[in-house]
Amino acid sequence: MTLAHPAGENSDSAVKAAEKPRRKRIQPLKALAAIRALKENKEDTGQVFKVIEALSGGAEERLFHRFEASPGGKRVLAEKLDLLALLCDREKLAAMPEGSLGAAYYRFMTSENLTADGLVEASNEMKLRDNIPEAGRLFRDRIRDQHDLWHVLTGYGRDGLGELSLLAFSYAQTRNRGVGAIVLLLSRVADKAYPGCGIWRSIREGYRRGKQAHWLPAEIWEELLPLPLEQVRAKLAVTVPAPEYRRAMAAAEALDAARVELGEPTGDVKLAA
């Protein structure tokens, strides 16, 4: 005999299911095409998103489950918090207390001539917003919009190695195979361009730091931005500095300087920098 569910239970379940990002299959051919395009043009940030999207599989759904079950995630979804709006408010960021995460973020974005909606343009090439329910869109957008905050928090620059080390950190946080694939692919390229400079040590360090840190995707950044940067780092267990990254950068810069003196071409491992 089939028992009827209590009134409203089926509809509530259906609504909840519809709010979640839909599970996607791994698309190796799509990833391969994007990887080839990225090799031809390392400045084409959109290809990075395509590789991640093609190889993510069910990672995003698992991440969303964890997000919606966390106190921070529940609050973001219930209050529909819009991190991008705050990160685009340059006047408000400029007024943040000296030494705060917000002030450091503002200086970082200004010095790099960046805007918070830059990643929006790159990710929108993937049409990620098509047919996505509101909860899924809030989740995806919030993950995307944290990227440059993570740069400031971890101390990784926008140089090629800084981006790769931050992606390794991100992989430890999200366990997204697409992110892991990009890290492996571009780290091999970087290691060939800068042999003996400690590229892989910096990547492993980024991964370890990501494993040791608190889970960042569900943090309420709106409340963390006015706080002292070092206090936020301590609160979230983000260790600084990153010695392997600094050593690798110094070695790579020295190698490039020597190449210039010899009239040889320098390495080219720039990624969205």
Q: Report how far residue 72's alpha carbon sits from residue 216's, in angstroms, rounded to the nearest whole number.
A: 10
pLDDT of residue 9: 47
The per-residue pLDDT for range 12-33, each reduced to its tens digit, is: 554 455 455 555 677 877 878 8
Residue 3 pLDDT greater than 60, yes or no: no
The per-residue pLDDT for 117 is 74
Q: Which pLDDT belongs to residue 152?
A: 98
Q: Is 32 left (phi over 0), alpha (psi -120 to 50) or beta?
A: alpha
Structure tokens given for 52: 């991640």
The encoded tokens of residue 222 equal 């709106």
Provide the residue ranges of all domains of the chain, joining segments of one domain with +.
Answer: 69-261
Identify residue 140 by its one-letter amino acid code.
Answer: R
- Rounded Cα–Cα distance for residues 217 and 170 (Å): 10
Three-state DSSP state, 95: coil
pLDDT in the model for residue 128: 47
pLDDT at 130: 54
- Phi, psi angles (nearest 5°) of residue 161: -70, -35
Q: How confident is the model at residue 2 (pLDDT cuts 50, 70, 90)?
A: very low
Q: For a pLDDT cut of 90, what percent of the chain falls above it?
A: 62
Strands (DSSP E) contained in the chain are none
Q: What pLDDT does 6 receive?
A: 47
Q: Give this prediction's pTM.
A: 0.83
pLDDT (tens digit, 9 = 90+) per residue, 34-60?
A: 878 877 776 676 777 788 888 887 888
Q: Is the dihedral of CA 181, 184, 188, 194 positive or negative?
A: positive
Is 243 within 8 Å of 168 (Cβ atoms)? Answer: no
Is the CB of residue 142 less than 8 Å from the CB of residue 83?
Answer: yes
169-190 tens-digit pLDDT: 999 999 998 899 889 988 999 9
Specify the pLDDT at position 119: 61
- Flag whether pLDDT at 164 surpasses 70: yes
In angstroms, what CA-CA distances link 149 with 27, 51, 102, 233?
Answer: 30, 22, 9, 12
Whole-number pLDDT of residue 97? 98
Amino acid identity at 81 = L
Across the chain, mean pLDDT equals 86
Over residues 190-235, the pLDDT tens digits come to 999 999 999 999 999 999 999 999 999 999 999 999 999 999 999 9
Which tokens is 266 given?
């320098």
172-180-144-239 Cα dihedral, nearest 10 degrees: 30
Q: Interhelix angle for 59-69 vs 134-145, to 10°?
A: 100
- Identify the CA nearest to 225 among candidates 112, 120, 108: 108
H/E element, 147: helix 147-154
3-7, 19-23, 32-36, 152-156: least confidently modelled range: 3-7
pLDDT at 167 over 70: yes
Query: Of the candidates 189, 208, 202, 149, which has an alpha carbon nearest to the alpha carbon of residue 269?
Result: 189
Stretch 101-105: mean pLDDT: 98
The predicted pLDDT at position 5 comes to 43
Phi, psi of 88 (to 5 degrees): -90, -10
pLDDT exceeds 60 at position 269: no
Residue 241 preceded by cis peptide, ω within 30: yes
Tell me, what's the pLDDT at 241? 87
pLDDT of residue 175: 94
What's the pLDDT at 1?
38
